[in-house]
Amino acid sequence: MLRKLLFRQAPRAYRFLSTQSTLPLLSKCSVFSYCSSSRPEIPHSNSIEHLEDQPTNTISIDRSGLYSPPEHSHEPSSDSELVKHLKGIIKFRGGPISVAEYMEEVLTNPKSGFYINRDVFGAEGDFITSPEVSQMFGEMVGVWAMCLWEQMGQPKRVNLVELGPGRGTLMADLLRGASKFKNFTESLHIHMVECSPALQKLQHQSLKCMDEENTSEGVDKRSLSTLAGTPVSWHATLEQVPFGLPTIIIAHEFYDALPVHQFQRGSRGWCEKMIDVTEDSSFHFVLSPQPTPATLYLMKRCKWAVPKEVEKLNQIEVCPKAMDLTSTLAKRIGVDGGGALIIDYGLNGLVSDSLQAIRKHKFVNILDDPGSADLSAYVDFASIKHSAEEASDDVSVHGPITQSQFLGSLGINFRVEALLQNCTDEQAEALRTGYWRLVGDGEAPFWEGPEEQVPIGMGTRYMAMAIVNKKQGIPIPFQ
């Protein structure tokens, strides 16, 4: 079956895309000491200088700089609705917000969030993801899902869930590639977990869906994908996906958009980095004068790390939502069976200071014009592993391995050879370029086009990890 899938011809136009494209507990942990409630001394930080890009080289927690417009001012404000909203939160609280709160508002604010009301993917968007590079990526993920389904005993009904499906390109390519294997596709109910109405519409189009008639009020939107005759439902959260069936979950470039809390080591210990408003009404970083709720997650993360790993860092990022999401995935898989595939860029260990903003394929200051750029951070794969193992004794965690290893072991080399046998010269060039971007490392050695468009390989920068029910054995290709 695997060889049939890899060598099946797929008449599809290929895309060439530009690369521009609480306190008693705290006192028991000897590794932590905390800033007192008095104003702390803020140590010099190159990272903060770089991200903040402001004239001053220090960070202050002076509350006098909180956003406060002059009384009776009738001057029009040039601030966007999201900026006004963020400043309103800070003013209402009388103090700064965490980096995670800022990140969540910037990305998913219901009115002005970066992901909510527009298409941000592809060459014309702000960044390019692997499914947009080549159809082969979604096809290989489909091979993985089918192999897991076989290891599960080929159940008659399966939930296939994608978290943050973007345009729906990955799922569309997966269904096209698997459409000849009727036993597999007929077992599937697709569940797209997406909070953006604009992206839901794009996904509906990508999957060539026909809406069901007479859908009851209060029931999640449900359609039928004509690509493989598969039912498709949309949900705002994973919790809305029905329980009780074996579940295969795909999370490609989802974890990197989950909000992170940043901590910095100061003279008084670990303090959380926060975002405040200066006297001139711009955003800047400050440090919390006392422990914050996220400190408990910092403690948990450092408990999982080797002491030497913590000692060498002056900054640490933790992602509570990633830990909690992984626990939810692991518990569901432990009870219902199935598995989860996580592919993202990150590290197999503590992450220091990785938060970045991308606008129109270029890095920008994360505090500049909130809502106009994508924010993302490295995924802490070690944290995912520990979170899953602590949540359920019935799951096993495998990886991470590089994206190159993952795709190569699933047969992408055979697939590209099969596709090259029946395509135009232009399509062949796009295939080779896409292949390099998916599995290569650094700049492509074969490139003869414009220097600014040289393909950059993601093969070693992206990593793959699987969480599966132990009864199913070790998933392909993690043996």
Q: What is the CATH number of the domain that holds 157?
A: 3.40.50.12710
The number of distinct structural domains making up the chain is 1
In a domain, 393, yes or no: yes
In a domain, 306, yes or no: no
User: Measured between alpha carbons, how far is 166 from 174 in angstroms, rounded to an integer?
Assistant: 14
pLDDT at res. 360? 80
In a domain, 167, yes or no: yes
Task: With beta carbons less than 8 A apart as the criterion, state whether 290 and 37 touch.
Answer: yes
In a domain, 98, yes or no: no
In a domain, 280, yes or no: no
Cα distances (Å, whole numbers) of residue 274 to 95, 218, 291, 435, 442: 9, 39, 12, 41, 35
Query: Considering the entire predicted model, what is its pTM?
Result: 0.81
In a domain, 55, yes or no: no
Length of the chain as a residue count: 479
Distance spanning both ends of the chain, measured CA to CA:
19
Containing structural domain, residue 473: 105-211+221-258+317-478
Q: Which of 142, 143, 202, 197 is nearest to 168 (CA)?
A: 202
In a domain, 74, yes or no: no
In a domain, 308, yes or no: no
What are the residues facing 287 on neighbouring strands? 273
pLDDT at res. 119? 52
In tens digits, the chain (479 residues) has pLDDT values of 444 444 443 433 333 333 333 333 333 333 444 343 333 333 433 333 333 343 444 444 444 444 444 444 444 457 889 999 999 999 988 899 999 999 999 988 888 778 766 555 544 444 477 888 899 999 999 999 999 999 999 999 999 999 999 999 999 999 999 999 999 999 999 999 998 888 999 999 999 999 876 555 555 567 999 999 999 999 999 999 999 999 999 999 999 999 999 999 988 899 999 999 998 889 999 999 899 999 999 999 999 999 999 999 999 999 999 999 999 999 999 999 999 999 999 999 999 999 999 888 788 999 998 888 889 999 999 999 999 999 999 999 999 999 999 999 999 999 999 999 989 999 999 899 999 999 999 898 888 888 878 888 999 999 999 999 999 999 999 98
Half-sphere exposure for 90 (CA within 13 Å, toward CB) = 31
